[in-house]
Amino acid sequence: MDYRPIGIFDSGYGGLTVLREVAALLPEYDYLYLGDNARSPYGTRSFASVYTYTKECVFELFNKGCPLVILACNTASAKALRSIQQKDLPKMDPKLRVLGVIRPTAEVIGNYSSSRKVGVLGTSGTVVSESYPMEIAKTFPSVKVHQQACPMWVPLIENDEHNGPGADYFVKEYVDQLLEKDPEIDTILLGCTHYPLLADKIRKYVPDHVKILSQGEIVAESLKDYLHRHPEMEQTLSKGGSRRFLTTDDTSAFDAHGSTFFGSDIRSEHCVIDHLG
Considering the complex, what minimum distance in angstroms separates the CB of residue 64 from ligand DGL?
21
Considering the complex, what minimum distance in angstroms separates the CB of residue 41 from ligand DGL?
3
- Closest residue to ligand DGL, based on beta-carbon distance: 43
With binding defined as CB under 6 A, does residue 100 bind ligand DGL?
no
Per-residue contact flags (x/-) with ligand DGL for residues 55 to 74, judged by CB under 6 A = ------------------xx
**Which of 146, 194 has the CB closer to ligand DGL?**
194
Considering the complex, what minimum distance in angstroms separates the CB of residue 112 from ligand DGL?
19
Considering the complex, what minimum distance in angstroms separates the CB of residue 126 from ligand DGL?
5
With binding defined as CB under 6 A, does residue 10 bind ligand DGL?
yes
- Catalytic residue check, 150: no
**Which of 42, 254 has the CB closer to ligand DGL?**
42
With binding defined as CB under 6 A, does residue 194 bind ligand DGL?
yes
With binding defined as CB under 6 A, does residue 14 bind ligand DGL?
yes
- Catalytic residue check, 192: yes
Which of residues 37, 40, 113, 147 is near ligand DGL by CB under 6 A?
40
With binding defined as CB under 6 A, does residue 41 bind ligand DGL?
yes
User: Which phi and psi angles does 275 have, rounded to 5°?
Assistant: -80, 130
Given the rule CB under 6 A, which residues bind ligand DGL?
Answer: 10-12, 14, 40-43, 73-75, 123, 126, 154, 192-194
Q: Active-site residue numbers?
A: 73, 192
